Chain A
């Protein structure tokens, strides 16, 4: 269900940015903490859709977000949020919703209090704020616990109440810093659905994660950060296709790895097989999709039982390795 977030209270007049300007612009932005580089000469412009920010811990994801929302000031370069400097001017915050990585919340407040109180800072009246808070809390699936203290919320609920507070004012841009961190599978699914729905509502959403498969389930548009540098920005499938052409490994679990390996060797895209551990077969290929297509047939033909399949290179580390290596 998509709530009618376009409703505006009588007392609320929106700050109006230039409508076609990119929501976020970073122009050669560098951020250093003493001698440590948090972000290194990053230039991006983002408007529309859901963009996944991928990067390992310390890659600069949170630094990027903090610069965008005006919590940090760039060491050099320029950050523009809706065309203005977010560190100096809080006006664009009226179009921004930000879910920080911080797990700290006001545990003594109820979910409804929390969202209502913060909604009032957008200029809504008490009643407007409460109505909107109830609306978004329902949207994120917390309607049953709105009057429960946040301190008694589960991890997933806490993340969702943070998301609710970030979208209570119907922002154009929503930034979610590691919203899935520490959540159980059910909460992850709920949050992912929420993010997808926000994208479907036409919002610009930036969501960070260090897990490739999580981002993959949310969006195709990704931005990869590594050691503070912008490594890539584009369509995940396009990147994946490139990755597939790169030497790739498929691990099969079977009782007869050598026999099964022998069956794969004739395939034109398989250039090698290995047996790293007893009961494991590692197939090396230059064309992942081709081998994946042929894999069921070869297994059936050989009559050997396969108990498990893994793609050890299908993760962020491999992607980063490929991208870094490719650049080198």
Chain B
């Protein structure tokens, strides 16, 4: 037979539990005695009953010291949070730095943004030719007078022998009759009576013959009881302009170049913010950078180097995500603020730099941060839950998110899209754009009224808040809350999964 070892080890099959329990109990009692002794307790104090030691302050000191020595892990973790968190986050950062895939993904993002900025710059450099929407700059009868001037002076614009006296009324330059009646809005959402007939071709004001046949017979086409105005239709909250119904010849000839450039610029901020930063960069970066945060380490068999330290598994997941955020947040910040800076110099503005967009870009930045946080946590958790299929599930989720993003853009009130991260990111951009541009819904309504369509695609990218239509700020906060909720839930699931996972 194999002899029993001298140092207390056991032979195979020997019962160990009772002996060890006794050893542990003895050890714990000795430990308590050591603690009391080291804390300055009087000799002979009863070990199992430390409360019998006289002196309240001394007792308190002893208990405090003992608690410090025997403090649970959570205390230790909190006191060392900065060291462990920064150590893991730094390690993650450096790990990203060594991977070529990181640079490829980040590089593609920069190229994408660069290309979009080139398209934007080209669009801004393009002049939009003024278009005579009401046709009154044309000399239909070739008598040298624009139709608008002839109408105002009471001659027939279709009769070449009927024209004003050249001595008294020299012909106007046709450009005078282009863009002569733009949209007039006083900015008051509560005032439905808007619009002004700047060129007088509805009211007849300033016309030689106020009863001219060429003035509209029905000057209250929109039926609001007021002649020659524009009736603004708002939603039930009165905060969003849904449509504009003009009386005839009112606000019928706005300045295309000014309006379309402004609408194009805002469409770029909205569209690029939503599709570029919130959706494309917002989903691809986390997909490539966060899915493998834990999963790759498990695959390679290196996770135990970190997990084998006195640090809770849940913390490792959180700190790895911190490292991920330390890459993607500064990256998106640089890209978005860079874009804001470049567009600020190119965008239509009265000054060298356009500051009006900053709030909108900050909204895009906010959306990008929270979306990347949520996607990153979800993807990382998927990698933890299923190291084998996590990436494929993440790609499937990406397809779902794409579909929901499209729904959010086209039909933002369709509730199915609320079950996606992209919807809430898009909502943040919408809300921040409304806060940045108080006349955003007016711009969209004008664009639709004039039917500029592709020239001013703001209607395709703008939509009012969905969750709280009365308050853009409220909707913004709710959207952030929803994204944080997704993040926290994913984090808890990931942490729970990691805690129960065996690292074979």
Contact = CB atoms under 8 A, between A and B. Distances in A.
Interface stretch (A20-28, A132-140, A208-216): A20-28
Given A117-B91, A120-B87, A91 B16 contact: no
Residue from B11, B308, B504 whose CB has the most chain A CB atoms within 10 Å = B308
Given A20-B27, A91-B76, A91-B310, A117 B301 contact: no
Contact of B9 (A45, A104, A105): A45
A233 B11 contact: yes
Contact of B20 (A22, A91, A235): A22
Interface in B92-133: 94-95, 98
B70 A121 contact: no
Contacts of A189: none
B28 A125 contact: no
A231 interface: yes
Interface residues of A, number: 67
B168 interface: no
Interface in A1-41: 11, 13, 15-16, 18-22, 25-28, 33
22 contacts: A11-B80, A18-B31, A21-B28, A27-B20, A28-B17, A43-B12, A43-B15, A49-B7, A89-B73, A90-B309, A90-B311, A98-B304, A120-B86, A120-B87, A121-B311, A122-B310, A123-B79, A123-B83, A223-B9, A233-B9, A234-B9, A242-B2
A238 B9 contact: no
Contact of B302 (A73, A102, A223): A102
Contacts of A26: 16
Interface string B147-190: 00000000000000000000000000000000000000000000
Contacts of B225: none
A91 B73 contact: yes
Contacts of A44: 9-10, 16
Contacts of B9: 44-46, 51, 221, 223, 233-234
Given A15-B310, A221-B9, 11 more contacts: A16-B31, A18-B28, A19-B31, A19-B34, A45-B8, A51-B9, A80-B20, A90-B313, A109-B94, A122-B310, A229-B12
Contact of A27 (B13, B17, B98): B17
A90 B74 CA distance: 11
A249 interface: no
A47 B10 CA distance: 12
A200 interface: no
Contact of B16 (A33, A43, A123, A242): A43
Contacts of B49: none
Given A20-B30, A108-B98, A123 B84 contact: yes
B56 interface: no
Interface of A: 11, 13, 15-16, 18-22, 25-28, 33, 43-49, 51, 66, 69, 71-73, 78, 80, 83, 89-94, 96, 98, 100, 102, 104-106, 108-109, 117-118, 120-125, 165, 221, 223, 229-235, 238-239, 242, 323
B257 interface: no
A215 B307 CA distance: 28
A93 B308 contact: yes
B83 A125 contact: yes
B76 A18 contact: no
A34 B271 CA distance: 53
Interface string B306-346: 11111111000000000000000000000000000000000
B7 A117 contact: no
A263 to B, nearest CB: 36
Contact of A106 (B26, B30, B302): B302
B57 interface: no
A117 B31 contact: no
B76 A123 contact: yes
B2 A239 contact: yes
Contacts of A16: 31, 69-70
B419 interface: no
B304 A71 contact: yes
B308 to A, nearest CB: 5
Contacts of A89: 73
